[in-house]
Structure 1
Amino acid sequence: MTETTQNSSSLAQKFTQLQNATKTTQNTIPKIQKVPHYLRGREHFAKHYSPKLVAIGPIHRNDSNLELGQKYKLIWAAMYLERTNQDAKNLFQKILSNIGRLKELFADDVIEKLTDEELSWMLFVDGCSLLQILDKGKPHASQEINVKIDQLVLVLHDILLLENQLPFDVLKLLSTHGDDDTLLIRSMNNFLECNHHLSPRRPEIGQGTTKDEDRELAEDGGYVSVYIKNEDTLRGEHIKCPFHLLDQLRRHVLDDTDQSKTNNQNTNEDCMTTYRNITELRAVGIKLKSTESRSRRYISFSYRWMCLCAELMLPEILVDDTTATTYLNLIAYETCPDFENKFEICSFVAFMDSLIDHPEDVKELRKAKVLRNALGSDEEVAQLFNTISADLMPNPEIYSKVRCQIEKHYRNRWRTWIALGYQSHFSNPWAIIAFLGAIVALILTFIQTWLAINPVD
């Protein structure tokens, strides 16, 4: 074949690829994949995406720094098999027989060098060890997985990294719960609530609730299997299962079981934000208050006492050594090209960054019991939010209503003066007493002056 013919053939292939490009369908579910390079490549950020002790899944399996973790995984897998009284060969065969379907849950570049048997063995060992961690990995009982407390902290850090995830389907095949997704998801939730300072979910249907409460919960929906209970039957209706543990953490943080109180509404008003931070909001009479829920969705702005008091309601958040890693991996997950979402975590971090510029802003959040600082100084917390929010593209519709409400208050001088007056004189009992004392003193002064001018005969 001549060089001209080869070039013509190559060019024809390129045109064929161009014509077929629009026929490429997007994945219906996210795949286990690497952190996008434009996130990992940022200065000082790579450490937040890499495991420190244990590699779960194929991406970091050949890291020489994680050899100790490989030994631990075998121990945890053996502990899980012994505890659940399952046969290792049968479980491995279950993974191997489903490997064709499971491979579709991984990006091609992370499993291309693995044979089906190698991948099946890895999923078998890693899956069993992860299930053991979910059930027994508690900070107060590190001996349950045969590690010291400092190593357990590293394990809890590693299993929530985006590049260290296993598909829910793998865990389901290895779990003793069979086709009951509810119990496996409950195990995930218990682990997250215990180890990551998350508030417990509302009671699940059929778990200590009345029939009327069951029906109400069923109407609310949820991520686990919803059970509608009556006198004779227990009917299961499967909703949506998480894709992996990090996905379940994101859902737990957002509390997607109840979206009725969110402020994600779009607004037709075009509000350009001119306020800077919490210090400025406090200066115009806006008071901070913590919501009962920790869901990042529940942010609202409202007036009380006939518009005398302006309040910005924010969810309580704990900032500690794990906060940066947790948020950065959730953000990386939201930016994966095959994960359709509304960028709720990105939007929350960007919103908090708009409120926090200086340590004084963090101090106001602490005083309002919105933020618990377990990291160190207020300056470190301010720097953390300013850093992790860099280069984010939040959803402009999320919190748009709240932003516009704050902006309207910020621009309205009358409301600002009223709110400041309320904050100065009615925000606490001592201020009220001082205000009333001033009024009484003014009245007495007026009476004394009047009597001096008009003495009584």
Structure 2
Amino acid sequence: MAEFEIETCRGVDQGSSSTSAPASTTTKNTLEVRVDAHTEPKPPKRRIGKVPLTMRRDEKTKGYFDPKVVSIGPYHHGKEELQMAERIKPILAEFFISGSGRDVDEFRKNVLEIVDEARSYYLEGSTNMYSDEEFAEMMLLDGFLVAAFIESKTPGYKNPKILFALETQLGQHDRFLLTSDILCLLENQIPFQVLELLMSLKSKHHKLTEMLDNVFHSILSRESTRQDKRIDDTKQPIHLLEYLWLWQNKSNRTRETSTRRIWDKFYSFKSVAELKAKGIYARRGSDFGQRDFKLKSFFFFFAVLEIPPIVLNPHYVIHISNQIAYEWMPNNPTNLPRMAYVNFMKSLINTVEDVKELRARDILFTPCMSDQEVVQIFNSIPTFLMEDFSIYDEVKQKIQRHYNNKAKTWFAELIHNYFCSPWTFIAFVAAATLIILSFLQTFFTIFPHK
């Protein structure tokens, strides 16, 4: 077995970032700023950031942003509660290297050559306590673990030794949590460049982006293979979470910016149960993409809202929360699509009745969770009233138009109140019959038959 030195180092709690700023001088009462008009300010380097403190301080999000099993990168390295997983990194490294035709020293040498570039992806000051050799060793071991994990999940590449090591060394529970630690956590990442280097050294057939497309397609999308989900190759991600974010939020449709008034971006409809009472029934969508909400109208008063199915497990809330944190990072020019998605789902899931309706329609799958817990989970996901409102604008407008149509909603409410079950229907028929008979009796009393 290849030997690795593992040194326990103190984890970094908070990083700091700095950007170039205009030169300034101060006097007793004034501040003078000198700007060179002939030089354009350069955008700051995009880095592997940290979750904003405002999100961390929220009690509802406690535990969403920290690794449970293993540390990846310097931000959580050396934490005592994560030391048990350190023993598996050299084991996975050996299994990953085997078959490459190279030894560990060659891998180490190549990582050392890009150590300065790898450091630059982290917040300033967060890697100062590590020498180049220590930092390269961290990148090497953590990179081997992530690369082996990706290989173990990729169809056609699966190494049974890696799968066996993960199961025997970590156990089923920690192996389950490992997915969130590697794929979901904003602060638990290593540079994408390091992963690409390790994969290229392993084999010319180990193309990281192609392998990730297969992994994400198999464990996240479940969409038809005819739909191309590969991200734009010209956009170089800085870490694995960003690649996953780009992969999930790629849109093949060009969206026009809405010029409607600000209050037209908000809608008054709420919850699945309320929509049902207005004649809009939830149905499981045929597509699994997060943007594939569709409204289809039938007859005069009836409509169906197709909702992409959701499997709500412990990974889900961690995954979503960290992707929202990623969207909030500085210098990430995004339109906050994950936040828009969660806000839409929050509007549909308000009560236990909403959860029951989605479960009954095979839209929401909640193993080992009560309906009340599902409501609490959606409420706990940190979102804010900032998003690209055009993402779901089309379907929301259709819902609102149906919702505002008095004739449609009146007829739908009549059906919902009096024909939703056999007993209410029988009671309605009995009441209607009684009224008709009473009318006839009165009529013939006033106008007796000759």
Q: By the TM > 0.5 criterion, same fold?
A: yes
Aligned to 1:354: 347
Q: Does 2:185 correspond to 1:168? A: no
Q: Does the Cα contact within 8 Å between 2:100 and 2:202 map onto a contact in 1? A: no
Alignment of 1:198-347 (within 5 A): 198-200=221-223, 202=225, 222-223=230-231, 238-254=233-249, 256=250, 258-260=251-253, 266=258, 268=260, 270=264, 272-305=266-299, 307-347=300-340
Q: Does 2:404 correspond to 1:411? A: yes
Rate the CA distance shift 1:164–1:272 in 2: closer, same or farther, 3 A: closer
Q: Deviations over 1:90-110 (max 9, x none)?
A: 222212212333333222243
Rate the CA distance shift 1:303–1:203 in 2: closer, same or farther, 3 A: closer
Alignment of 1:57-456 (within 5 A): 57-136=73-152, 142-145=163-166, 146-147=168-169, 148-160=171-183, 161-176=185-200, 183-194=207-218, 196-200=219-223, 202=225, 222-223=230-231, 238-254=233-249, 256=250, 258-260=251-253, 266=258, 268=260, 270=264, 272-305=266-299, 307-391=300-384, 393-419=386-412
Q: CA deviation at 1:187?
A: 2.1
Rate the CA distance shift 1:427–1:223 in 2: closer, same or farther, 3 A: farther
1:26 to 26, 43, 53: 43
Please, which runs of 5 or more residues in structure 2 have no aligned partner? 1-23, 445-450
For the residues of structure 1 that align with 2:103 and 2:31, how far apart are their CA atoms? 53
Q: Deviations over 1:88-143 (max 9, x none)?
A: 122222122123333332222432333333222211221112111111268x9841
**Equivalent residue letter for 2:393:** S
Higher mean C-alpha deviation, range 324-333 or range 80-89: 80-89
Q: What is the DSSP-based 3-state SS (H/G/I as helix, E as strand, rest coil) of the residue aligned with 1:62?
A: coil
Greater relative CO (CA pairs within 8 A, separation 6+) = 2
Which contiguous aligned blocks of 4+ residues in structure 1 show a shift greater than 6 angstroms?
177-182, 262-265, 421-428
Q: What is the DSSP-based 3-state SS (H/G/I as helix, E as strand, rest coil) of the residue aligned with 1:312?
A: strand
Q: Does the Cα contact within 8 Å between 1:54 and 1:69 map onto a contact in 2? A: yes
Rate the CA distance shift 1:52–1:415 in 2: closer, same or farther, 3 A: same
Q: Does the Cα contact within 8 Å between 2:199 and 2:206 map onto a contact in 1? A: no
Q: CA deviation at 1:315?
A: 1.0
Higher mean C-alpha deviation, range 81-90 or range 59-68: 81-90
Q: Deviations over 1:375-402 (max 9, x none)?
A: 4111111111112145453333332232
Q: What is the DSSP-based 3-state SS (H/G/I as helix, E as strand, rest coil) of the residue aligned with 1:297?
A: coil
Q: Does the Cα contact within 8 Å between 2:55 and 2:382 map onto a contact in 1? A: no
Aligned to 1:11: 26
**TM-score, L = length of structure 2:** 0.76
Aligned length: 396
For the residues of structure 1 that align with 2:201 and 2:240, how far apart are their CA atoms? 17
For the residues of structure 1 that align with 2:419 and 2:245, how far apart are their CA atoms? 40
Q: Deviations over 1:184-221 (max 9, x none)?
A: 22322343455x453156258xxxxxxxxxxxx6xxx8
**TM-score, L = length of structure 1:** 0.75
Q: CA deviation at 1:336?
A: 0.6
Please, which runs of 5 or more residues in structure 1 have no aligned partner? 1-8, 205-216, 225-237
